[in-house]
Amino acid sequence: MAWGKPSAEPPAWLAMCAANDARLTSIIVPRSRAFDEETQIALAKALEENERVLEVYASGHAVSVTAARAFAVMLAVNVTLKSICLGDENFGGMVEVEGDGRATSALQETLRGCAHAAALETMDLERKGVTNDDGEAIGKVLSQSATMREVRLGRNEGLGAEGYSKAFAGASESVSLEILDLTDNVLDDASARALGALLSSSCPIKRLGLTRCEIGTEGLRALGDGLTSRASVERLELSGVKLGTGGAAALFGARTTTTNVLEIDLTQCGIEDEADVQALSGFLGASPKLLGVNLRGNAFGDAGASSLAVGAFASRAPESLDLGSCKLTAGAMDALSNAIKSSKTLSLFDNALGDEGVANIFAQSSGSSLEVLDLGAVGLSVDGLRAVVVALRNPEAFERLHTLIVGGNPGCQADDWERVVSDLRSNRPNLDVAWRAADGNSDDANRLKRDDAGRVIAIE
């Protein structure tokens, strides 16, 4: 790996690259380092015959059309480079007018080279000023490349339906694209329909990143049609997407087609209504290979947990299940018995379980597969922790458990808390008991990270 360094002289890694030095496999130029046009062109030239460098990451640096042409030539002849990230937020807006009156941008020139790259697998265009004018060129890369596995298009405010349609039309012909990330983008109904059509195509997308994307009800419905029409998507990232008040029902509702989803992230999606929970439950239940489900920050309460328990989790629970900050109480613990028994990782962080709820969990501990249990900020008192110590004296109680998180509880303020934790560790010397991140004093209490609604979402 080589890092750019402030200097009037050419960086040392440039000479190493030109010499095809086997020690240099990755070039990373932080935004704070010098990377002017002359250096960029010299790097492009050095990479033309380099067979060692696999990654070039120089995000945040302005790239001129002239330098972009040099990179395009390099990409067309280099046979080993696998990952590239160039340009800043004006990459797509760095436009020059050709002699024939045709306008071109630094990004478009670079994409011409990407379309002919022999080994390129990752193209990172996050926050690169991508606009509708670039959609066709992106689509051409994806339709022509036999190696492109990952494309990141997040945080590009100028990309709309026209650009998405052209990019996704090309992507639908891809034989290699497995990861598509659109984080923080706005997908209007037409854009979502284009994405749904892509998901319905033969493109082998396995990981779809839609974190915090803005998608309307009709768009969600079109996306849902695409998701359930084929079974290639294995990881679905929807954290922060607004799925409340009918959103989840639009995305997941009335779909019985079996999916291939292994992991789904629905953190803070606003899923609360029964209809939305039922639709989600149906989708999860139609995903028999499901390994990880993150529902943190969806305030569906005990009723929602019960719906999931008799629906999606009736016969099996995922290996990893996060129900943190879901407004659960002790009353939901009986409904979650299957998860307590069969999941390997279970988070109940920031739910008002109290001593009663924790006792109920440990009453179901015999024969459990749990390895990690998060009971942080659940209202556990020092007496409740003592009861946990007693329960764990039974060697059959959570016999596979290796991590227990109990930080952020009111009992942390008690003088006896640390001694009880020591007793717990004595009983189970191989058990990692985590609690000090928020032990109740004024300083550590500030380590509780909360969202805008005041819910605890992490212990820092």
Total tally of structural domains belonging to the chain: 1
In this structure, is residue 33 part of a structural domain? yes
Residue 97 has what pLDDT?
63
Angle between helix axes 161-171 and 189-200 (nearest 10 degrees) is 0
CA-wise closest residue to 300 among 338, 253, 250, 245:
245
103: confidence class by pLDDT, cuts 50, 70, 90: confident
pLDDT tens by residue, 139-166: 999 999 999 999 999 999 999 999 999 9
In this structure, is residue 445 part of a structural domain? no
Q: Determine whether 71 is exposed, middle or buried from the number of CB atoms within 10 Å of its CB (0-12, 13-18, 19+).
A: buried
The boundaries of the domain holding residue 92 are 1-120
In this structure, is residue 42 part of a structural domain? yes
In this structure, is residue 100 part of a structural domain? yes
Residue 281 has what pLDDT?
95
Radius of gyration of the chain from its Cα atoms, rounded to whole angstroms: 26
In this structure, is residue 253 part of a structural domain? no
CB 268 within 8 A of CB 242: no
pLDDT tens by residue, 214-272: 999 999 999 999 998 877 899 999 999 999 999 999 999 876 688 899 999 999 999 99
In this structure, is residue 434 part of a structural domain? no
In this structure, is residue 185 part of a structural domain? no
What is the number of alpha carbons within 13 Å of residue 180 lying toward its C-beta?
25
- Give the mean model confidence (pLDDT) for residues 375-401: 95
283: confidence class by pLDDT, cuts 50, 70, 90: very high
CB 153 within 8 A of CB 184: no
Exposure pattern of 387-424 as b/e (b: 16+ CB <10 Å)? Answer: bbbebbeeeebbeebeebbbbbbbbbebeebeebbebb
Please, what is the average pLDDT of the chain? Answer: 91
Residue 6 has what pLDDT?
54
- Give the mean model confidence (pLDDT) for residues 389-412: 93
**What distances in angstroms separate CA 184 from CA 180, 234, 301, one per listed residue?**
13, 21, 28
CATH number of the domain within which 95 lies: 3.80.10.10
CA–CA separation, 148 vs 152, rounded Å?
Answer: 11
In this structure, is residue 58 part of a structural domain? yes
pLDDT tens by residue, 63-83: 999 999 999 999 999 999 999
